[in-house]
Amino acid sequence: MPWGINRRRVVTINDGKPGERSVTMACMHCTDAPCAAVCPVNCFYTTADAVVLHSKDLCIGCGYCFYACPFGAPQYPKVGNFGSRGKMDKCTYCSGGPEPDGSLAEFEKYGTNRLAEGKLPLCAEMCSTKSLLAGDGEIIAQIYKERVVKRGYGSGAWGWKTAYRETIAS
């Protein structure tokens, strides 16, 4: 991964004020990804595991995906004038790219393909608070639901009620 690229970053809301919150942001691998919809060369594709990836060989670095993504996931690898910033880079959910799994070309362009190795994405594996989980969506939803039911809504943390303005039936 190029130096300076942060495929996951922390955004602080109300910095230094009461109610300050820090939220981790990365590609959400959208079902109907806006980055893919605006790409003029169709370099974005969705894998069988529902991971939104892009081909750096097809990318022309126009930046349309950067502006279309509500999470700011696609990034330029370099700072500079338009045309000198390179091709876009984004979170791959540690699942590589279109090259063959485990190949040197895949590693050089996209990093280690942890999913092909049977591992979790690095962000989920290294998350010290286990706030980031990866795996089957139904199992993860159940884990989050159990956490909210156990901890309640009064902890001051972002929770189901804060995010969705509704309660959960236990």
* Domain identity same for 93 and 145: no
Total structural domains in the chain? 2
Note whether residue 52 is domain-resident: yes
Residue 3 domain-assigned?
Answer: no
154 and 124 in a single domain? The answer is: no
90 and 164, same structural domain?
no
Which residues form the domain of 146? 136-170
Q: For 99, how many CA atoms within 13 A lie in the half-sphere containing its CB? A: 16
What's the pLDDT band for 55 if we cut at 50, 70, 90?
Answer: very high
Q: The pTM is what?
A: 0.75
First to last CA, the chain: 43
Percentage of residues in the chain having pLDDT higher than 90: 32
Same domain, residue pair 121 and 156:
no
Task: Note whether residue 82 is domain-resident.
Answer: yes
CA dihedral over 143, 149, 155, 158, signed as positive or negative: positive
34 vs 9, 101, 104, CA distance in Å? 20, 26, 30
C-alpha 115, offset from chain centre: 15
CATH number, domain of 67, equals 3.30.70.20
163 part of a folded domain = yes
CB–CB of 70/34 below 8 Å? yes
Do the domain assignments include residue 110? Answer: yes
Same domain, yes or no, for 99 and 140? no
* Average pLDDT over every residue of 142-153: 79
Encode pLDDT of 77-99 as tens digits: 776 666 567 788 899 999 988 99
Q: Are residues 141 and 159 in the same domain?
A: yes
- 52 with 113, same domain? yes
Q: Are 85 and 66 in contact (CB under 8 A)?
A: no
Give residue for tokens 């509704």: 166
Q: Which of 10-14, 37-41, 83-87, 136-140 has the highest mean pLDDT?
A: 37-41
* 93 and 163 share one domain: no
